[in-house]
Amino acid sequence: MKEKLEAIKQAAVEAVKKAISEKEIEDLRVLYLGKKGELTAILKQMGGLSPEERPKMGQLVNDAKSYVEELVLKKKEELKAKATELKLKAETIDITMPAKTRETGKLHPLNTVLDDMIDIFQSMGFDVLDGPEVETDHYNFECLNVPADHPARDMQDTFYLGENLILRTQTSAAQVRTMETRKPPIRIICPGRVFRADEVDATHSPVFHQIEGLVVDKGITMCDLKGVLEQFAREIYGPETKVKFRPSFFPFTEPSVEVDVTCSECGGKGCRVCKGSGWIEILGAGMVHPNVLRMCGIDPDVYSGFAFGIGLDRLTTTRYKISDIRLLFENDKRFLEQF
């Protein structure tokens, strides 16, 4: 039994020395020192010894267990210290290495033009407001003089979310909400996203951006509208830009006009961009229809006003000579880095 004890002790010592992980050390501890371990098994065999031999053998077994336990503990501490050292070495930062370069973000061309337009209109005394993108039929159509049976509804392919709930087709709905809650004088612009069920091509998108403008006060005339839009066009396209009004139709304005500016590419001489006409259409406008004022609680016999709607996407493409509106939404870095 003494020889067997010595053999187990030597085997344990060799195994502990060769161990390379904390898990392996724990497995060895259980193998030799656990309740069913080999050294414990020796103690269970002592019943067959004489009363004189038992104390001596018990002392030898206990000494062997203590020796192996101390060896296991030291090896555990050694492996733990080595693991900590390797971890610290792996996490060491070489402060002599050059830092990683980070690209600086820039404004999207749509946001650049929007910021410029807000600055222009704020300099003329306009407030900037917004409204919900999910609108009711009441605000998007009815209060803008477009009842359910009005043929003008065919001009806009609408996304319906419910019986009376839609994605707004124009930011004019925010103007209606403003006129309901604010007394004249009113001078606001409402930038934001709008939605129409258009086919995607170089000039159309189901999601695009508008800036609606509204002025309501006593004595507002078409001359005021013309003066504001001329100032806006010169600020955006340059001081030599000319503005032309063409008669048009919108159910919420009367009279209504389409507004053209001289082509920024050719200066009005005619080119590929303006299709030889020398003019580019940029927005629709007109005097606010008396029915719209009346439905918003404003007396049209006392107050008058004008409104205009600018397509931000079209303005951006003409300003930067972008040939395809889809480039504004594709997030292609090669395109965006040019701005």
Q: What does the pLDDT read at residue 124? A: 95
Please report where in the chains the tokens 């004189």 appear, as a residue: 52
pTM of the model: 0.67
Torsion angle (degrees, nearest 10) of CA 215, 217, 221, 222: 10
Q: Which helix (H) or strand (E) holds 264?
A: none
Burial readout 236-265 (b: 16 or more C-beta within 10 A, e: otherwise): bbeeebebebeeeebbbbeebbbbbbbbbb
Can you tell me the distance from the alpha carbon of 295 to that of 37, in angstroms, rounded to the nearest whole number? 93
229-240: pLDDT as tens digits = 999 999 988 888
Q: Supply φ then ψ for residue 127, to 5 degrees.
A: -90, 155
> In the beta sheet, which residues pair with residue 245?
259
Region of 125 on the Ramachandran plot (φ > 0 left; ψ -120 to 50 alpha; else beta) = left
Give the model confidence (pLDDT) of 256-300 as tens digits. Answer: 999 998 887 777 788 876 788 888 888 999 999 999 999 999 999
DSSP 3-state helix, strand, coil percentages of the chain (rounded to 5)?
45, 20, 35
What local confidence, expressed as pLDDT, does residue 208 receive? 92
Task: Please name the CATH architecture into which domain 109-336 falls.
Answer: 2-Layer Sandwich (3.30)
Predicted confidence pLDDT, tens digits, the chain (339 residues): 777 777 777 787 788 788 888 888 787 777 777 777 777 777 666 666 667 777 777 777 777 778 778 888 888 888 888 888 888 888 877 778 888 888 777 889 999 999 999 999 999 999 999 899 999 989 999 999 988 777 766 666 888 888 889 999 999 999 999 999 999 999 999 999 999 888 888 878 899 999 999 999 999 999 999 999 999 999 988 888 899 999 999 999 999 999 998 887 777 788 876 788 888 888 999 999 999 999 999 999 999 999 999 999 988 988 888 888 899 998 888 888 888
What pLDDT shows up at residue 10?
A: 79
**Residues found in the chain:** 339
The per-residue pLDDT for 155 is: 62
Q: Where are the domains of the chain?
A: 2-90, 109-336
The predicted-structure confidence for 18-51, as pLDDT tens digits, reads as follows 888 888 878 777 777 777 777 777 766 666 666 7
DSSP string spanning 56-115? HHHHHHHHHHHHHHHHHHHHHHHHHHHHHHHHHHHT---TTSPPPP-PPP---HHHHHHH
Q: Tell me, what's the pLDDT at 292?
A: 94
The pLDDT value recorded for residue 204 is 83
